Amino acid sequence: MRKIQMVDLKGQHAAIKDRVNTSIQEVIDTTAFINGPEVKEFQKELEAYLGVKHVIPCANGTDALQIAMMGLGLQPGDEVITADFTYVATAEVIALLNLTPVLVDVLPDTFDIDINAIENAITSKTRAIVPVHLFGQCANMEAILKLAKKHNLFVIEDTAQAIGSHYRFNDGSTKKAGTIGNVGCTSFFPAKNLGCYGDGGAIFTNDDDLASKIRKVANHGQSVQYIHDEVGVNSRLDSIQAAILRIKLRQLDVYNKARILAAQKYDAKFKAHPRLTIPVRADHSNHVFHQYTLKLNGVDRDALRAHLTQNNIPSGIYYPIPLHLQKAYLDPRYKKGDFPVTEDLCRSVISLPMHTELDDEQINYITTMIIEFINV
C-alpha cells in the first residue's frame, strides 16, 4: 500500500508534471514574473469557470478577506459577524482592520453558521456578515442574503475551502460558491481544493465599482501609477503560480469529483456506526470535501488519534479551540459556554485523509483501523 498522506500533493503533481514544468519554464524564459500574461489569462479563465464578472488575484486567502473588507470601505468600530467555528484568518483580518468581530455559533449537523444566531447578533453597528463555506459545503446563503437585505449589510463569502462547489437556491437555480454575496474570497494554499505551489488567493465580485476599488486597494491604493488615492496594500499572485493554477483549474472538477467519491466510500463504511456521525450534506449545497470530518460520539479522540498515528494514518483536528477561547481573541463579551455547539465540535470532530489520490486499499485500511478501534 502507498503511504497515506493527509493531502497527497506529490501524487497530484505527478499526473501534471510535464505541463507544469513547461509552463514554469516559459514564465522564467519571458521573465514576466509579476503581473505577466499568465495572471491575466488565469483571471479570465477563473471568471468563466465561476460565472462571475470580476476575479482579482492576490497573494493569499487572508489578504483576499482583508482587501475585500477594505474595498467595501468598512471603518473602525464597524461590527462584522462571522462563525466561531472557522479558521482564524476570517476573524484575524476583522481585528487587524480595527473592526469588531462578532462571533456566532454554528449548527451541530452541517457546521454551518446559525441564521438565528446571526439575526440575534445584529446591532445598529453591524455592517457585514462573513459566512464561511466550511470544509467544502456552502453556508445557507439564501437566508443570509435575506437578512443582509433586511438590515442593509454586506455579505463577504469565505470560499477558501469550497471552490468549485455550488449553491442551490429554492427555485432550483445554482451559483458557484463565492459568487453569491457582494464579494467572495478564496485561497490557493497548496492543500486547498485548487492549490498552487506556494501562496495565492483571489477575490470575486459581480459589482464593477467594487471590483475597481478592490483592484486599487490591492495595488498600493493606486489606479494610475504613482498616484495614490488611499492607503492600500501590496498583494499580487505571482505569474508562476498563475501558470500552475491555469493547469490545475482545468482539472478542478475532476479533483472535486475524486474527493466526493472518496467521501462516499468513507460514508459507506461509517454510516451505520452508532458512535460515528458522517458529514451531513445540506439540501442547499453540494459538498466538495476540502475536509472529511467525522463527529465522534463517546469515543476517546486522543486515543483514537494515537492508534491511527501508530498505524501510519494521519488525521487532523479542525478546529481544536473555538475562536472566542483563543488568547488573541479573548473578549469580555464572550465566555466559555457561550457557543455550546462550537465548543462541542472542537472536542468531538476528527478529519481523515482527504485528497484526490486516495485509493480503495487506503480507504479500506483507514476505515478498518477506525472501526476496529472503536469496537473494542
Residue 161 CB, nearest approach to ligand PLP (Å) = 5
> Rule CB under 6 A: which residues touch ligand PLP?
60-62, 86-87, 89-90, 132, 158, 160-161, 187, 189, 199, 201
CB of 372 to ligand PLP, least distance (A): 32
> Which residue lies nearest ligand PLP, judged by its C-beta?
61
* 50 or 65: CB nearest ligand PLP: 65
CB of 88 to ligand PLP, least distance (A): 8
What minimum distance in Å lies between the beta carbon of 181 and ligand PLP? Answer: 15
**Residues 34, 36, 38, 41, CA torsion sign:** positive
CB nearer to ligand PLP: pick between 249 and 276: 249
Going by C-alpha positions, the residue among 302, 369, 281, 339 that lies closest to residue 91 is 339
Cell of 181: 454575496
Looking at beta carbons only, is 156 or 304 nearer to ligand PLP? Answer: 156
d(CA 39, CA 55): 11
Contact criterion met (CB below 8 Å) for 278 and 137: no
Nearer Cβ to ligand PLP (89/363): 89
Question: In terms of DSSP bridges, do strands 126-130 and 154-158 run parallel, antiparallel, or are they unpaired?
Answer: parallel
Report, in Å, the least distance between residue 18 CB and ligand PLP: 27
For ligand PLP, the closer CB: 161 or 179: 161
Residue 314 cell numbers, joined: 494521519
Q: Which residue do the cell numbers 505541463 mark?
A: 19
Angle at 275 between CA 260 and CA 140, to 5 degrees: 45
Question: Least Å distance between CB 189 and ligand PLP?
Answer: 4
Cα(212)–Cα(76) distance, rounded to whole angstroms?
22
Give whole-number Cα distances, 344 to 72, 105, 111, 148, 297, in Å: 34, 11, 11, 28, 11
CB closer to ligand PLP out of 42 and 270: 42
Helix (H, G, I), strand (E, B) or coil at 349: strand
